[in-house]
Structure 1
């Protein structure tokens, strides 16, 4: 399959949304999305139902706050969803929404300067409409640009994250089917290893089974980005495993690949119980949900780059710490 029709729907939707006045967003979303659209976004938006509700709760306030909003895509792909037996077709885009931060958003004070909202979006296309969306975005990354410090010092690097090193992530034209199959196989092999935590190998050697030695892990703000297997193990994977127990099995809603790229999302992907130390926070011993999107670039038969979106605001709110409220209203 080429997925060109599904890709065109999403691209036309993006253009119409960009061209529309703030007051017309409801009409645009109603035109391209099913009336009972299911939209999942990170805290504080969570699960929204209905095109008009999504316009009023997310798109209109965002456009009101970030004037001259533009979408800067780094990855654009489509594929059939492995999770439902390759029946549904999803279109994925990843990059940044950029604008002038002129009015407050979610209680975050404006800067009058350009700001980037790092995002990734999965759209299920059926009968010519978007029927389900997972729109995940890095609000702590946005907070830091506005001068806030939502988390203790992180283990990896805080950066504005670029797209793929190879600059070939925008797949507007069909890709060889075998490339997508190889990418999906590499992702599945990594998931199999990741879910075990008991391979008998050192963490670095376990990672070498499915990752390139010079891998790049573009993590969310609060954790950060890290480079090479050795530093990834030291700066994220090792501390994460040490800070959690009782990790549940992986549970994805969608998993696709096209060309050398692929990814997945869950709601949540898994649960785990913090035993202390993760992100500089104390143990709560209370299992929490991890809502995650992962996007990957494959090189050869291994994974070379990974962009990760984790709803850390939701996770820590479950642990009794409302990061967003604390940063904007001085809450606990």
Structure 2
């Protein structure tokens, strides 16, 4: 039985070293555990970076300079075998990066107050090294904390994404692989339903196939969180389906589970064409990519909670709207 303990410990040791490193040593700490072709995928405006120095210089050093005394506060941690064609063992960490917002970041003016940046990170482990990372983080959530309004009023609630209801999301030890198989099966049933958009059932009945009635969808800033199948259908799933056409099939780079937790990410997950308006924005009729990370908690034979990271800044850039630039006054293409 594969328990992924070595891979988990490698990531835990890496986080300890990275989070306590001096700014001058960040690239060295990343380089110590990554190869020369290390691939890092991040939220707009960072995109895809290659190599430890690029990741340190463009993301970690500026963030650490802006959010002083940065803490990593994990809520979910698990590992497993990727069931997609890319394969490999991946370790997932989700939570918040918290610090004192004392210097500008991405053109966002500092507040001098405690500020959080919700994040989720997938790391692929090969030969005792991290070979690729997908790290999504909710920049608009930080913008709202800084007093900015990047989007029109959202359909869900703007809240801080909390830890799982049972407070058991940190899977540092080994877990029964049968539980992971059941979690993956439940996720795949849900993915199949979403991917069709034409199950022939009313939306709430379709959702009830995979979700508990008191489900919680912890959506990103700009869409927001929603509670119960009925409200999720009314406040996100229904409006989303009504606002798009030509949705492509779902494609994931990585999909895995351990215990009652699982997740996936794509680059992109799918494309769709906004024809009915979305997030209070006008329809553009231009196909756009959705880069998404989803983390799930299964309870019994259905899903109970879902934490969602969507690179909405990237999506709207494809529609000709520079959300970050127009909100901060920093033009698109400026160095992060």
Under TM normalisation by the shorter chain, which class is it? over 0.9
Summarize the Cα distance change of 1:33–1:330 in structure 2 as closer, same or farther, 3 Å threshold. closer
For residue 40 of structure 1, give the secondary structure of its aligned residue in structure 2: strand
Is 2:300 the counterpart of 1:293? no
Question: 1:176 aligns to what?
Answer: 176
Gapped regions of structure 1 (runs ≥ 5): none
In structure 2, C-alpha distance between the alignment counterparts of 1:21 and 1:295, rounded to whole Å: 31
- After TM superposition, the structure 1 = structure 2 runs for residues 39-50 of structure 1, keeping only pairs within 5 Å, are 39-50=40-51
- After TM superposition, the structure 1 = structure 2 runs for residues 227-238 of structure 1, keeping only pairs within 5 Å, are 227-238=227-238
Q: Deviations over 1:177-232 (max 9, x none)?
A: 10000000000000000011111110000000000000000000000000000000
In structure 2, C-alpha distance between the alignment counterparts of 1:272 and 1:291, rounded to whole Å: 12
For residue 29 of structure 1, give the secondary structure of its aligned residue in structure 2: helix
User: Which 4+ stretches in 1 moved above 2 angstroms?
Assistant: none
Q: Deviations over 1:122-165 (max 9, x none)?
A: 00000000000000000000100000000000000000110100
In structure 2, C-alpha distance between the alignment counterparts of 1:52 and 1:235, rounded to whole Å: 42
For residue 196 of structure 2, give the secondary structure of its aligned residue in structure 1: coil
Question: 1:93 aligns to what?
Answer: 93
Aligned-residue offset at 1:84 = 2.5
Gapped regions of structure 2 (runs ≥ 5): none
The normalised TM-score by structure 1 is 0.98
For residue 100 of structure 2, give the secondary structure of its aligned residue in structure 1: strand
Question: 1:131 aligns to what?
Answer: 131
Is 2:185 the counterpart of 1:185? yes
Question: 1:265 aligns to what?
Answer: 265
- After TM superposition, the structure 1 = structure 2 runs for residues 1-332 of structure 1, keeping only pairs within 5 Å, are 1-84=2-85, 87-329=87-329
In structure 1, C-alpha distance between the alignment counterparts of 2:111 and 2:36, rounded to whole Å: 36
RMSD: 1.0
Aligned-residue offset at 1:276 = 2.6
In structure 2, C-alpha distance between the alignment counterparts of 1:330 and 1:64, rounded to whole Å: 19
In structure 1, C-alpha distance between the alignment counterparts of 2:132 and 2:114, rounded to whole Å: 30
In structure 1, C-alpha distance between the alignment counterparts of 2:137 and 2:249, rounded to whole Å: 24
Q: Deviations over 1:298-326 (max 9, x none)?
A: 00110000000000000001000000000
Aligned-residue offset at 1:32 = 1.2
The normalised TM-score by structure 2 is 0.97
In structure 2, C-alpha distance between the alignment counterparts of 1:9 and 1:60, rounded to whole Å: 22
